[in-house]
Amino acid sequence: MAEDPQRNFRSSYYEKVGFRGVEEKKSLEILLKENPLDLEKLSTFSQRFPLPSMYRIHVWKVLLGILPPHSDSHALVGGYRKEQYNDILEALHVMRYVNCSTPFTDVCLRMFQLESQDEENEDFLSIARSMEEIVDDPIDCYWLIKCFVHQFHAKFGDSIPHLPKSLEHYLSQEEPRLLRHLKNTDALAQLPYGLWFRRCFAGCLPESSLCRVWDKVISGSCKVLVFVALEILLSYNNVLLGISRPEGVAKLLCNIPQENTDAIVTKAIDSWHKYCGTPMHAV
């Protein structure tokens, strides 16, 4: 039987946007047509498969609670979100906390602080700058920043301090020689844990790679951050072994080259599945 060139074109296209096959696309489209949406199945899908950009923002908004599970309410709730955004923005202008020249990410921070009374700023701003590169609509962008930061701290705040030890454990299994070197040079304590674990690699990875990591975090796993850090260390193993000063290690890891990050993230997700398993809910 002759091959169908149209089918081959579609398969190639779906692979480029993050699907390994047409069936995955069909599965996601079926999930997104359910009313109400099954959040558990949607989270499971996001953990098992990559989300393409055509669906990513919508899935993030649902998983972060910006939009409700009932899809017939999305337009109404979207209108409320827009009104709330405009009300907060107007209040900040009236109080002269922001003006027309204030950078968008600083505006988001002031809005977030006004609503939450949270003094956190550098981590928020770092995440906000990356989200601004991913999301075009400013209202969607603000809500995604706010809800991502809130959900991350609410769900994983107690786990974040333990992630460095988890990284050390997996590094001991994958590359014990590198672990010994980092300990002997006092570089282990100087690794950029804040950049990796509190900022979820915002400002470290380019947006194309970062989105794939945030897919997993938003769908319910902070452990994937450990494996991204692990694969970064493994990828620069030989270079790191040649650095004897801890500040040199930190400088390298805070400024990794951007051209091979997709491969690093792919390996990290594979390692995450290898060590932590794959969600078993039906999709």
Least confident of 60-74, 137-151, 265-279: 265-279
pLDDT for the residue 282: 35
Q: What is the mean pLDDT of residues 39-68?
A: 93
Q: What is the mean pLDDT of residues 1-12?
A: 42
Least confident of 16-25, 84-93, 232-241, 254-263: 16-25
pLDDT band, residue 225 (cuts 50/70/90): very high
CB 250 within 8 A of CB 78: no
Please write the tens of the pLDDT for every residue from 126-162. Answer: 999 999 999 999 999 999 999 999 999 999 999 999 9
Nearest to 203 by CA among 110, 128, 151, 264: 128
SS (H, E, C) the chain: CCCCHHHHHHHHHHHHCCCCCHHHHHHHHHHHHCCCCCHHHHHHHHHHCCCCHHHHHHHHHHHCCCCCCCHHHHHHHHHHHHHHHHHHHHHHHHCCCCCCCCCHHHHHHHHHHHHHCCCCCHHHHHHHHHHHHHCCCHHHHHHHHHHHHHHHHHHHCCCHHHHHHHHHHHHHHHCHHHHHHHHHCCCHHHCCHHHHHHCCCECCECHHHHHHHHHHHHCCCCCHHHHHHHHHHHHCHHHHHCCCCHHHHHHHHHCCCCCCHHHHHHHHHHHHHHHHCCCCCCC
Fold classified for 160-276:
Cyclin A; domain 1 (1.10.472)
> Is 70 exceeded by the pLDDT of residue 194?
yes
pTM: 0.88
Both tokens of 218, joined, read: 């938003």
pLDDT for the residue 277: 79
Of 116 and 137, the one with more pLDDT: 137
Q: Which long-range contacts (CB under 8 A, 24 or more apart) does 179-185 make?
A: 181/240, 181/241, 182/240, 182/249, 185/243, 185/244, 185/245, 185/246, 185/249
pLDDT for the residue 20: 53
Q: Does domain 21-154 have CATH number 3.50.7.10?
A: no
- Distance, in Å, from the CA atom of 231 to the CA atom of 174, rounded to the nearest integer, reads 10
pLDDT for the residue 283: 34
Of 277 and 204, the one with more pLDDT: 204
Q: What is the mean pLDDT of residues 209-235?
A: 97
Please write the tens of the pLDDT for every residue from 195-218. Answer: 999 999 999 999 999 999 999 999
> Is 70 exceeded by the pLDDT of residue 114?
yes
Domain range summary for the chain, segments of one domain joined by +: 21-154, 160-276
Q: What is the mean pLDDT of residues 222-240?
A: 97
pLDDT band, residue 90 (cuts 50/70/90): very high
pLDDT for the residue 177: 98
